[in-house]
Structure 1
Amino acid sequence: MKRRITFIQRVDAGFDPQQAVLTPTSLSVRDLDAAREDRITVGLDQLPEELRAVLEKSHELHLRWASERPYDAVAPFASRVSPGLHVHYTPLEAERSPEALCTLLRTVVGPNEDSQYKDCLKPEESFITPPLLSTRFASSASLQYYTRLSSVENLVRYIRNAVCDQISINNAECHTQADALLSVDSLDIDYDSISHALTLSGHWAGPPKGGWTDQFKKPSSSADQIEFGLLGAEPGLEPEEIKMGGLLAVVGQDKKLTPTMFSFPSRHHSLIEPASYTVSFAPPTGLHPTMSISMPRSSLKRPRAPSDATCALHTHLTLPSTIFGDQYQLATKDPLFLESHNLVALRALSGEMDLEAPDWVVKQWGSTWLLELATPPEALENTADSSNWTATIPLHLRYLPPSETGYRTAHVPWPVVFWACTAEDGTKMSVNPFDRANLGWDGLFGPRTLFYQLQPAGDRLVEDLDVPVLRLEGGDGLFQGKYIELGTCAVISLGFLWVLWKLVRVAWVSGVGSNAEVRRTQAPHDKKE
């Protein structure tokens, strides 16, 4: 097992050498004010049998989880996904996807009852196929799944009960590391068939109260390793670079902390000046809510990208099956519609697009949408304007199952908002120890695209919408299920009787008319005789 612990301090943060002390058997930190990433890599032979069986049939499997709590993503961990659990998966055999993956997902990360969990039956039925607009971006998986997941408690429980017994470290220490994941802001799990190793990465955007205080002991096995880094990050000399410097050590091998300084090209960057956005739905939402993405005009300043680069502001929506967009409406070229919503174009979409199907008929988890947002013409010249710039996206709610109250709640995660800038042709993005791919939206761009993230500013990164539904028996009012059922039967019966009466009347009139005509044609003949 290999463990890498990285602390990222702000450039202006103070540091006392006594806050990080290395001994022959351990490394201790005290009161560190820094972001933190813990990355653990284990081999397949150290994993439980049911997990190993799934991974052995997978070409690649990537889980991305983000908390519903707001947090600041700092470089080099600047990339974001919408809150919830994202699964990106490519089976080892394209025509066969093991059902065991869905079984494992239900066991390991089964969400709470209120999450409107779209059950994972088979990957080919429940997953969607993302649109890979850049075929050169080979790291993008072929299938994608999403569900709201407000906590990783079930995953931590699985690690404690199933994984800790397999890993060759102290069981109590493994439990402690697993419990620490309960407070992470984002969590990644990665596997690919080339390395045959599973990597788990937890990220904390800030320290607990009082700072990080921890001790990392020398591994008991020579096959295990703990790497430690206390670093600071700042923009490099080139726009696409991140420069880092600080202290490095391998616990139990190095005698002292080694100073270091290095730089590397990165696809994901933080904006130098604070840039934020908020998401809301104007009440009353009804069945056709409109998502509003509001940004201070000061947040729309062009990123620090190469001067010859083309930059555009984008948003990527991850919509569960309860809510969807109209692909024909959002893909319009009508300039009046686009200008009224401050949109430029719909760039990509995938997932469930049926405009009429109720939610209980839909098998796939939902849909994803990539839209380019318009920016005010004066954004580059005037950033002192305190007013907000708002882009709006019209959406639609599906019919949901009935409830006793006559309402159900649809949980809509906040989208991510970012600048995408083209990089120079010669820019290489491959050498990056902190790179993060398979986010669900990065594969929609070329491999040398630079991304600059805006930070969500809110108390909670999920919007709850009240959806009117059929009221079950037991509630008050006329719109209960039994009254609507009786009323429907009564209307159908009356309609049937009315149609039957009309048919009988027409037949009666036709019969009377025919008899009269016969009498008129026969009368002259009888009179002649």
Structure 2
Amino acid sequence: MVLTVLSSIDPPHGFHRTIRTSITLRDQDRDAEWIHLVEAKEEKETPCSLHLYYELPLLVFVDPYELANYQHLYTFELRGNANLELPVAAMGSNGTSLILKLNPKLVSLGPHSHVDVIDIKVPIHLRYGEISDSTSHRSAEMAWPEVFLSCGLDVPTPDSMSLTSYNLSEEIMSSSFDGRALFRPSQPFPANQTTRSAVITAPTGQSADMAQVRLGTALTMMGMFWYMVYIACLTARRLRLGVEFGFGKRLGSKVE
């Protein structure tokens, strides 16, 4: 089994993007490879599960409510500060991490199939960077997701499966993979993917623009306030006329 993992970010610019990861499995020796440990068969629980691990810098966050729309592809576990509204300046020093557990039905090579491609999409969003006096953009380096297997301790993993041990932080291991052994496929990256990370760039505010921004915000808020006053007056007038019209109509009917 030859496995390759290729990731990209689309579109390359903007505050709302998607990490696309393609996992390509090429079947060369089905009887000796680890594919059988994660492949769904007859609705039975698989001995191992296939995962993707993302380390997200402060500039990047994911929306857990949005990820729930992909439950047919994966389940997820999000760690770290997941507040969607915070700017980078309020995030502290640590980013967030995301672990996906892929649906076993995605890994299903048929008896006559020799290539299987798993396409995983993770929508990401960028936070507002700290205000700067010298630059109009902020950049952060983000590593491409890691592919690994989680297996029970009683699952044999011979050397012929081309697996190597894989470790996450002690906190993640104890809470999410207690009693499990982690492995990663050997050399999962294709030769043409020379980098193991991407640089994320987002525009940021500048101190020189603060006066204009504050003035614009104040004028907008004042305009909204007086618009609401205008609408309230129209509504009150309409209600008053309606009451007077209804009262007069009832009075006229009584006189008749």
Q: TM-score range by the shorter chain?
A: 0.5 to 0.7
Q: Compared with structure 1, are the counterparts of its residues 437 and 291 closer, same or farther at alpha carbon in structure 2 (3 Å cutoff)?
A: closer
Shift of 1:472: 4.2
CA contact (8 A) 2:54 2:98 kept: yes
Q: Compared with structure 1, are the counterparts of its residues 407 and 296 closer, same or farther at alpha carbon in structure 2 (3 Å cutoff)?
A: same
Query: 1:328 is paired with a residue of what secondary structure?
Result: helix
Superposed counterparts of 1:190-269, under 5 Å: none
Equivalent residue number for residue 71 of structure 2: 338
Instruction: Confirm whether residue 318 of structure 1 aligns to residue 47 of structure 2.
Output: no
Q: Compared with structure 1, are the counterparts of its residues 411 and 423 closer, same or farther at alpha carbon in structure 2 (3 Å cutoff)?
A: same
C-alpha offsets along residues 475-529 of structure 1, whole Å, 9 cap, x if unaligned? xxxxx44433332233345556x369859x89xx9xxxxxxxxxxxxxxxxxxxx
Equivalent residue number for residue 5 of structure 2: 277
Instruction: Confirm whether residue 298 of structure 1 aligns to residue 33 of structure 2.
Output: no
Equivalent residue number for residue 462 of structure 1: 197
Shift of 1:316: 1.3
Structure 2 CA distance for aligned equivalents of residues 309 and 488 of structure 1: 56
CA contact (8 A) 1:309 1:423 kept: no
Superposed counterparts of 1:47-62, under 5 Å: none
Equivalent residue number for residue 451 of structure 1: 183
Structure 1 CA distance for aligned equivalents of residues 222 and 93 of structure 2: 37
Superposed counterparts of 1:341-360, under 5 Å: 343-346=73-76, 348-360=77-89
Equivalent residue number for residue 286 of structure 1: 14
C-alpha offsets along residues 347-386 of structure 1, whole Å, 9 cap, x if unaligned? x33210111111111125122221112454542545533x
Shift of 1:309: 5.9
Query: 1:286 is paired with a residue of what secondary structure?
Result: coil
TM-score, scaled to structure 2 = 0.65
Q: Compared with structure 1, are the counterparts of its residues 493 and 352 closer, same or farther at alpha carbon in structure 2 (3 Å cutoff)?
A: same
Structure 2 CA distance for aligned equivalents of residues 296 and 289 of structure 1: 23
Structure 2 CA distance for aligned equivalents of residues 304 and 502 of structure 1: 68
CA contact (8 A) 1:408 1:469 kept: yes
Structure 2 CA distance for aligned equivalents of residues 389 and 304 of structure 1: 13
Q: Compared with structure 1, are the counterparts of its residues 292 and 400 closer, same or farther at alpha carbon in structure 2 (3 Å cutoff)?
A: same
Q: Compared with structure 1, are the counterparts of its residues 418 and 382 closer, same or farther at alpha carbon in structure 2 (3 Å cutoff)?
A: farther
Equivalent residue number for residue 247 of structure 2: none
Instruction: From the CA coordinates, give the structure whose radius of gyration is larger.
Output: 1
Shift of 1:338: 3.2
Query: 2:184 is paired with a residue of what secondary structure?
Result: strand
Q: Compared with structure 1, are the counterparts of its residues 425 and 459 closer, same or farther at alpha carbon in structure 2 (3 Å cutoff)?
A: closer
Query: 1:297 is paired with a residue of what secondary structure?
Result: strand
Instruction: Provide structure 2 residue ranges, at least 5 long, that are not aligned to the other structure.
Output: 39-44, 158-163, 238-256
What amino acid sits opposite 2:3 in the alignment?
A: A
C-alpha offsets along residues 97-134 of structure 1, whole Å, 9 cap, x if unaligned? xxxxxxxxxxxxxxxxxxxxxxxxxxxxxxxxxxxxxx
CA contact (8 A) 2:131 2:205 kept: yes
Q: Compared with structure 1, are the counterparts of its residues 313 and 363 closer, same or farther at alpha carbon in structure 2 (3 Å cutoff)?
A: same
Instruction: Confirm whether residue 369 of structure 1 aligns to residue 68 of structure 2.
Output: no
CA contact (8 A) 1:293 1:392 kept: yes
Q: Compared with structure 1, are the counterparts of its residues 299 and 359 closer, same or farther at alpha carbon in structure 2 (3 Å cutoff)?
A: farther
CA contact (8 A) 1:303 1:452 kept: no
Superposed counterparts of 1:390-409, under 5 Å: 390-403=119-132, 404-409=134-139
Structure 2 CA distance for aligned equivalents of residues 381 and 493 of structure 1: 69
Instruction: Confirm whether residue 327 of structure 1 aligns to residue 64 of structure 2.
Output: yes
Q: Compared with structure 1, are the counterparts of its residues 383 and 470 closer, same or farther at alpha carbon in structure 2 (3 Å cutoff)?
A: farther
CA contact (8 A) 1:297 1:383 kept: no
Superposed counterparts of 1:62-211, under 5 Å: none
Shift of 1:409: 1.6
Structure 1 CA distance for aligned equivalents of residues 121 and 166 of structure 2: 29
Per mean C-alpha deviation after superposition, the further-off stretch among 284-293 and 301-310 is: 301-310
Q: Which has the higher contact order (CA 8 A, sep 6+)?
A: 2
What amino acid sits opposite 2:125 in the alignment?
A: H
Instruction: Confirm whether residue 411 of structure 1 aligns to residue 141 of structure 2.
Output: yes
Instruction: Confirm whether residue 421 of structure 1 aligns to residue 156 of structure 2.
Output: no
Q: Compared with structure 1, are the counterparts of its residues 462 and 306 closer, same or farther at alpha carbon in structure 2 (3 Å cutoff)?
A: closer
C-alpha offsets along residues 442-470 of structure 1, whole Å, 9 cap, x if unaligned? 44324353523352342221211221322
Structure 2 CA distance for aligned equivalents of residues 449 and 485 of structure 1: 55
Q: Once superposed, what is the RMSD of the aligned Cα atoms? A: 3.9
Q: Compared with structure 1, are the counterparts of its residues 285 and 472 closer, same or farther at alpha carbon in structure 2 (3 Å cutoff)?
A: same
CA contact (8 A) 1:276 1:299 kept: no
C-alpha offsets along residues 238-264 of structure 1, whole Å, 9 cap, x if unaligned? xxxxxxxxxxxxxxxxxxxxxxxxxxx
Question: Once the two structures are aligned, what percentage of the paired residues are identical?
Answer: 24
